Chain A
Amino acid sequence: MNERIAVAAGRLLLIVLWAAAWELTAQSGALPRGLIGQPSVFLMDFVELLIDGTFPTAALITLQAVFIAFALGAVLALATALLMTVAPLVERLASPIIDALNALPRVALIPLFILWFGIGLEQKVASGVSIMYFVLLSYTMAGAKSTDPDHLRLARSLGIPGWKVFVEIIVPSALPAIFAGLRLGMIYTVLGVITAELIAGGKGLGTLVSYYSNTFDPNGVFATLIALVIVTTGMTMAMTRMERSIMRWHVPITT
């Protein structure tokens, strides 16, 4: 317990030292304040924009797109994984194509999404899904391959149908990998949505970043980045919680 407190204190100290060095550099003018920002200023900016409702409103708009993209991408990825596990031929046909699509820098698709869906919610969702889908699909398929062959042989010897094998054996076996994919996918979905906002505008957090940057206000950019870090960290923490409660059997229990 003491060690945990010490580690937490050490982390805090590291952040404080870093901020102090940054603050000193800015105040002394060693690097131009107008470019690198100033912790004392952007922390105040952060608090101000939090209280006047700018961040909460923008965060909600961004999160709406993130959640839709995350859920949609997850459902599509799991459905594809089901199809690919139940019908191995589908996997053999599709997997090189999927790999090629996954290698494509998705940011390059955003102009196309804007063309198709306009500059509203839909294109942000499309951008998020285009990343989320592939991340989760590749993690799920890797996890599915780690299934204990004896479990599959048992299911075969019992004559259990393919879809039931997927739900009752492959998904639980792949669950650690699926959760890793969900966690990473969550972060990448935010990336996809923020990028779409940077390019297309609107009212989300990504738009705020590009607004402050275009008005030469690095403190505004950093204040928005703090908001973003808080949002994404909160989401990953919620995910870890969920993971622990679902994968009860993964926690070693001493008797």
Chain B
Amino acid sequence: MTDGIRIRGLSHVYAGGGESVAALGGIDLEIPAGQFVSLVGASGCGKTTLLDILSGLLEMQAGEVLLAGKPPQAGRRDMARMFARDALMPWKSAAGNVEFALATRIGDTKERASRVDALLESVGLGEFRDALPGELSQGMRQRVALARTFSLRSRFIMLDEPFGALDALTKITLQDRLVELWEQISGSTVVLVTHDLAEAAALSDRVIVMSPRPGRIVADVPVDLPRPRNVRALHAMDGFQKLVAGLWETLDAAS
């Protein structure tokens, strides 16, 4: 038994409309506790399917998945999930959206409110606690979503292309925030699904490259960059550029 994530022989087939699509074709993966892992691969390689199974949002069909020794289940107390679009509720304020998640963990209203304020402060949105999502820019909304995800201080954090819709500059700022937030909660295991190889390299300890449908692991690339990291500084580093170029080659060879 391990405190991390253990995946053995995981396959998944989507059946429907007479046609069935094999999304995952036998995944074996061991993620030690506290590791930050990225899943990369072409569209339709089953990355999100894998993340949905880990989050307990999709029923497992074949294989074995254990998170800290227990099978995945939606609503697990030690799990937080972030969605590709921010999934903020437009009728709740920034603070209200963060509180919505936190209310499942902290009963005391005062303690909760001060946690919410501290979190919004830490993502630079202290002044916008009462703003509605419609009044915020895309980048600000994604920051609220980050605060909501990290408010739970979960042992397992599942991120599905959190910055896919952002411009390059906002993206790097938010990646730095993400790294900071993650470093604040020690020992939490992160699985990040992304299309962006530079993002994967900059944030993770390890990048898993997947093949197109049915998704299989074709490469397991360690990222030996020192922590704490600064994403903007990394982009200027020679070693970093080489790492990203290497990931591109691996990805090209896989598809």
Contacts and interface: CB of A to CB of B under 8 A. Distances in A.
B134 A253 contact: yes
Contacts of A148: 87
Interface string B55-97: 1110000000000000000111101110111010111000000
Contacts of A248: 132
Nearest to A148: B87
A198 to B, nearest CB: 42
A249 B132 contact: yes
B135 interface: yes
Given A150-B83, A153-B83, A154-B87, A159 B135 contact: no
Q: Give the secondary structure class of B's interface.
A: loop
Interface string A225-255: 0000000000000000000000111001101
B104 A158 contact: yes
A157 interface: yes
Interface residues on B, range: 20 to 34
A84 interface: no
Interface residues of A, number: 20
A235 B90 CA distance: 28
B204 to A, nearest CB: 22
Contacts of B14: none
Nearest to B93: A249
A90 interface: no
Contact of B81 (A157, A169, A247): A157
B186 to A, nearest CB: 23
A255 B135 contact: yes
Interface string A158-183: 11100000001100100100000000
Interface string A128-163: 000000000000000000001011011011111000
B89 A158 contact: no
Nearest to A157: B81
Interface of B: 55-57, 74-77, 79-81, 83-85, 87, 89-91, 100-101, 104, 132-135
